[in-house]
Amino acid sequence: MSDPVLWTYIVIAVAGWLATDIWRWLGVLLGNRLDEDSEALQWVRAVATALVMAVTSKLVFFPTGTLAHSPLWLRVGSLGIGFIAFLLAGQRVIVCVLVSISLLLLGLAML
Amino acid sequence: MPPSDIALQSNARWFLKGVLSITTLPALILMTSFVGFSAFALESGITRSQAVFMTLSVWALPAKMILIGTMAGGAPIAASFVAVTLSSIRMMPMVASIMPDMRTEKSPTWLLLFLSHFVAITSWVFAMQRLGDVPRERRLAYFGGFSITLTLVNAVIVGVCYGIVAQFPPMVAGALFMLTPVYFFASIWASARHSVVKVAFVVGVVAGPAIAMVEPKFDVLYAGLGGGTLAYLFDRFVIRGRKAAQSATAAPEELL
């Protein structure tokens, strides 16, 4: 713990690697026995999705780095319009990416 | 040629097909997201070799973002572990749901455990979409070829782009940073096969920033556990409850 560089690697290995692979390994072991439509699995899906989207959404609302100085309406607006275009285009991921990023760049260039 | 050599050759061929699938659109989008991740890592004070180590060992982008977020906030290792492991519970059903399609009776467990490390959103969607078209005994080779290559290529991308992104104009760095959330918004919604995932998606998007303004230390945990439970209950009793009620009232009519 006295070596901060080594300690960072230990944190990544334990709180990152081990913390994710535990669930992948459990997924393999339970793979054939897990009931795809059980209520427990529905709840786990809900918690997992809410968690991931909370993190993702926070990146848009409270970005770090250069985007921290850009207006909130530009980031949310770019993503919102891109997402609507994505829904209209039959849920093609590339549409959301191209529209959102183009609008963001356009906004950043004009401001 | 003995039969085992033919089998080996065929496995090698399917592995190579998997490797070549690295040029498909979802894989390319993920690569640009990792260019964005290298910018995020740099701006969050993570070194180049730490970012590469993280890519190889953790692999899943959301888990890495949570790990960096808690590390940057100075949280103790136990808090980082809890936050990351809660975000990765979804790995269990993700891996479990593709295992019946991937394995044969003879698949060794150690190989399945090894390959499961390379499961993340992109490779999971890849497995769901494509394994059905591959002969069952070649699916592990095909999935392995794609998913291992995807991880290694992105580790190289993080290593190479880490320094380059620092020299990018701020506008480009900002756009690359934005790629990761934009990619997840679209790909997670597109891969949702259950109504509960879409409800939880919306709840998480709103609850994440909202709770962050009130309780910034454990906001993600609260949004995940609390928001996810609310989403589950809403889906169970309102959305699916209504469907169940409709089919219950419809059933007697069908009998007549």
Min Cα–Cα distance to chain B from A28, Å: 6
Residue pLDDT, tens place only, B103-121: 888 889 999 999 999 999 8
Confidence of residue B14 (pLDDT cuts 50, 70, 90): very high
Provide CB contacts within 8 A for B1, sequence distance 6+: none
Residue pLDDT, tens place only, B164-205: 866 778 888 788 888 878 988 998 898 787 888 899 999 999
Task: Give the Å distances, CA to CA, from A94 to A101, B114, B134.
Answer: 11, 31, 26
Is the C-alpha dihedral spanning A51, A38, B192, B132 positive or negative?
Answer: positive
The rounded distance, in Å, linking the Cα atoms of B60 and B88 is: 9
Mean pLDDT of A47-60: 85
Domain ranges, ordered by start, for chain A: 70-111
Residue pLDDT, tens place only, B66-81: 899 888 777 788 888 9
- Beta-carbon separation of A59 and B180 below 8 A: yes
Residue pLDDT, tens place only, B53-65: 999 999 998 889 8
Domain ranges, ordered by start, for chain B: 3-191, 193-256
**Among the partner residues B60, B109, B232, nearest to A20 by beta-carbon distance:** B60
The rounded distance, in Å, linking the Cα atoms of B245 and B74 is: 49
Interchain CB contacts (distance < 8 Å): A and B: 320
Is the C-alpha dihedral spanning A42, A44, A50, A56 positive or negative?
Answer: negative
pLDDT reading at B152 higher than 80: yes
pLDDT of residue B256: 42
* Closest by Cα among B86, B172, B162, B195 to A109: B172
pLDDT reading at B92 higher than 90: no
**Among the partner residues A44, A66, A97, nearest to B93 by beta-carbon distance:** A44
pLDDT above 70 coverage of chain B, percent: 92
Chain A residue numbers touching B199 (CB-CB < 8 A): 46
Provide CB contacts within 8 A for A111, sequence distance 6+: A70, A71, A74
pLDDT reading at A45 higher than 70: yes
The rounded distance, in Å, linking the Cα atoms of B141 and B79 is: 37
pLDDT of residue B139: 94
Residue pLDDT, tens place only, B32-52: 889 888 888 887 888 999 999
**Among the partner residues B95, B199, B205, nearest to A24 by beta-carbon distance:** B95
Residue pLDDT, tens place only, B209-245: 999 888 877 777 788 889 999 999 999 999 888 877 7
